[in-house]
Amino acid sequence: MNCYLCDSQLDLKPSWRDLFFMDPEETICITCRSGFERNGSGCRICGLAGAELCSECSYWETTEFRGAIDSGKCLYIYNQAMKEYFHQFKFLQDVVLAEVFADELAKAVRKAGAVAVPIPMNGEKLRRRTFSQVDSMLDAGKVGYIHLLQKNEEVQGEKTKEERMATRGLFMLKGNPVPKNIVLVDDMYTTGTTLRLAAKLLKESGAETVSFIALIRA
Amino acid sequence: MEALQKFLSGRIWLRDFTPFPQEEIENAIDAGFIAVQKGITEDLKCARCLEQSTEKIVSYNCAKCEAECFYCRHCIRMGRVSSCTDLITWKDPLSLTPHSHSFTWNGELTNLQQLASDELSESLRKNRSHLVYAVCGAGKTELLFPPLHKALSEGKRICIAAPRTDVVLELSPRLKAVFPDTTIHTLYGGSALEEGFAQLVLATTHQLYRFSQAFDLVVVDEADAFPYSYDPALARAVIKSLKADSPIIYVSATPSRKLLKAIPNQSKIFRRFHGHALPVPEYRSLWNYRKSFNANKIPEKLAGWVKLRLEKNEPFMLFFPTIEMIRQAEPLFKWIDNGIEAVHSKDEDRKEKVMKLRNGEIRGVLTSTILERGVTIENIQVGVVGADEEVFSASALIQMAGRAGRSSAFPNGEVIFFHNGISRQMDKARDLIISYNREGRR
């Protein structure tokens, strides 16, 4: 099998370990893997490396979104390698790339010890893209999840930060019962607006704790 | 409709990604001008690049067709082809009537070039494929001009395919100068859309995926390892882009043994157009150069060679086996002279840097095999660091050595193989160069 990203042949060194353990199968080579940079620890809310509470989150905590998110974690920073990966995954629609970070994402979600709820895409967009990045990663990582939310037909990406922060009613509940402890899952944390809108709605609807896991901190 | 016909003739294109409005496409389909086919065939083959390995044709749950869908990973960078995407072709491609083309070329061919050019014309007259086996700097492109002119005048549609964007970009202005009234399109990853119907298409080999039964003649430039040890999909792409029973011209300085066997009609030119011998590589040991770079030091012999080039004001190319090593070495060389630049495949300023080297704004480049061919710079001196490394095949080494001594004003450039032990490929390259020189003298 070849590396999903650079197409070079993966070293398959037979080992005793392989005989006894079912290790997750590698999908990319060591060189490509080493291009990605893990996000360090930092902000207790959004996971941005650095201060214990980042400036953006401390601003959020002065708004009506105070306490919407209890804690969060972003696994990787958005460096060049990640930009290229994400482009190939999302825009070139290379669905198998869901497998590259699936196990790590699954592990983080399981560790959160709550019901996994993916940030959804709106129906029209989903049909155009033909797959949801988040769902496909969770599927590949074999984590269970439920869709509690459904998205109204507005698109976040085309808005300015101010417009995003002013967005209301981005999500609606689908109607299934809301569990007490929820971990939201998204591909990228940019301004945090999307996740906060989702978290706030869930808390208003009965959730006691809402945390999140995102693959990338932009 | 006419613009659409011109665009789509001979092409196989993603229905949803043409430069035309959807409505126009639909009308042409309804009127029966355009044929539509599924992107992935029943037997799970990509209809565009003809890939069919299970590693590259993969399945997933598609939200658009709400079923299991297959897509092709091989040509995904040209826009994804999947079971639920349509590919379109124009049913009756435009045909050209014979007409005269201006031919503004007043160069002269050497006797050897003329002979090869005539042999090539003869093969084309008989509709046979032909191999031009000629050393670097023999003037392969020029000898193609007369046969190309004849074929264009006969109304043939022609594609010249080269493996790299750099080579395509270097050829394009030359061909446009020689055939000023011919519609020529230049296609490579990220090239701008050109209007009209091109009788002469200049493209990277990958772009051929997007053609189907389009050409009466394809010239495969730099066809070294072609079509076997190379990406086999590209060999299929060449065949797919050709109309039935049309010939292929292979051009190479280092053809594979299989290609030599497969194409019986051959012309050989083992002498450069200026009549001088090819520079023979010199071996120079550079023990543990990796260690040295790791310790942020340029090995002394190498530093000495570079300093001598700077002193004599000679431009140079220093080839490295890996991009990492180039990155490591760049700051060290910049410390010797700030006019030394690194150029590698992921470099967006590649084109500009080569131009600057040519006109003397840059004194030398540290580069990878990306610049091993297609680049001509007067009085260039060549060094290969780690010539014994696996990435440097004999043909790559011959190509790199072939950068030196190309102009008649400076026919004797230096070629140094800096090594940490002599590899078979180095010997093979040197022996071949020596044998070309011997044959060329006859």
The DSSP result for B221-276, as a single string, is: SS-TTTTTTS-HHHHHHHHHHBPTT--EEEEESS--HHHHHH---EEEE-S-TT-P
Q: How far is the C-alpha of B404 from the C-alpha of A157, rounded, in Å?
A: 51
Q: How far is the C-alpha of A32 from the C-alpha of A4, rounded, in Å?
A: 9
Is B17 in the A-facing interface, judged by CB distances under 8 Å?
no
Q: Tell me which residue range forms the domain holding A113.
A: 38-78+98-217
pLDDT value of residue A165 = 56
| B421 is a domain residue | yes
pLDDT value of residue B427 = 97
Question: Domains in chain B: how many in total?
Answer: 3
Q: Do B408 and B340 sit in the same domain of this protein?
A: yes
Q: How far is the C-alpha of B275 from the C-alpha of B408, rounded, in Å?
A: 8
Q: How far is the C-alpha of B333 from the C-alpha of B307, rounded, in Å?
A: 10
Judged by CB atoms closer than 8 Å, whether chains meet at A2 and B55 is answered as: yes
pLDDT value of residue A154 = 58
| A6 is a domain residue | no
DSSP β-ladder status, B34-38 and B86-90? antiparallel
Judged by CB atoms closer than 8 Å, whether chains meet at A131 and B62 is answered as: yes
Q: Do B242 and B288 sit in the same domain of this protein?
A: no
Q: Do B71 and B126 sit in the same domain of this protein?
A: no
| A86 is a domain residue | no
Nearest Cα to A158, choosing from A116, A190, A133, A130? A190
- Which of B55, B60, B77 comes nearest A131 by C-beta? B60
pLDDT value of residue A158 = 63
Going residue by residue through chain B, which has 442 residues, state the pLDDT in tens, using 9 for 90 and above.
Answer: 889 999 999 999 999 999 999 999 999 999 999 999 999 999 999 999 999 999 999 999 999 989 999 999 999 999 999 999 999 999 988 888 898 999 999 889 999 999 999 999 999 999 999 999 999 889 999 999 999 999 999 999 999 999 888 889 889 999 999 999 999 999 998 899 999 999 999 999 999 999 999 999 999 998 875 544 457 888 899 999 999 999 999 999 988 888 899 999 999 999 999 999 999 999 999 999 999 999 999 999 999 999 999 999 999 999 999 888 999 999 999 999 999 999 987 777 888 898 899 888 999 999 988 888 778 899 999 999 999 999 899 989 999 999 999 999 999 999 999 999 999 999 999 999 999 999 988 7
- Tokens read off for B252: 């190479």
Specify the pTM: 0.85
- Which of B64, B76, B79 comes nearest A130 by C-beta? B64
- Tokens read off for B7: 């665009």
SS3 for A16?
helix
Q: How far is the C-alpha of B174 from the C-alpha of B179, rounded, in Å?
A: 9
Place of tokens 């194409």: B263
Is B56 in the A-facing interface, judged by CB distances under 8 Å?
no
pLDDT value of residue B106 = 86
Is B60 in the A-facing interface, judged by CB distances under 8 Å?
yes
Q: Do B299 and B257 sit in the same domain of this protein?
A: no
pLDDT value of residue B92 = 87
pLDDT value of residue B222 = 81
pLDDT in tens, A8-54: 887 666 666 666 665 567 899 888 999 999 998 889 998 888 889 99
Q: How far is the C-alpha of B429 from the C-alpha of B416, rounded, in Å?
A: 12
Look over chain B and give the mean of its residue pLDDT values, rounded to a whole number. Answer: 92
Q: Do B298 and B235 sit in the same domain of this protein?
A: no
Beta carbons within 8 Å of B196's beta carbon, 6+ residues apart: B6, B183
Q: What is the dihedral of CA A136, A138, A141, A146, to 10 degrees?
A: -130
CATH of the domain at A48: 3.40.50
Q: What is the DSSP letter of B39?
A: S
pLDDT value of residue A31 = 85
pLDDT value of residue B346 = 72
Q: Do B194 and B162 sit in the same domain of this protein?
A: yes
| A50 is a domain residue | yes
Residue B189 C-alpha, separation from nearest chain A C-alpha, in angstroms? 14
DSSP β-ladder status, B57-62 and B34-38? unpaired
Q: What is the DSSP letter of A103?
A: H
Task: Count CA atoms closer than 13 A to B183's CA, side-chain side.
Answer: 12
Q: Do B363 and B340 sit in the same domain of this protein?
A: yes
Q: How far is the C-alpha of A165 from the C-alpha of A167, rounded, in Å?
A: 5
Place of tokens 């037909």: A153
Helix ranges restricted to H, B50-139: 111-125
CATH of the domain at B405: 3.40.50.300
pLDDT value of residue B344 = 82
Residue B430 C-alpha, separation from nearest chain A C-alpha, in angstroms? 29
| B100 is a domain residue | no
The answer to whether the beta carbons of residues B238 and B205 sit under 8 Å apart is yes
| Partners of B73 in the β-ladder | none
pLDDT value of residue B152 = 96
| B277 is a domain residue | no
pLDDT value of residue B228 = 43
Segments in chain A below pLDDT 70: 11-24, 153-168
The DSSP result for B276-290, as a single string, is: PPPPPPEEEE-TTHH
pLDDT value of residue B165 = 83
Q: Do B322 and B373 sit in the same domain of this protein?
A: yes
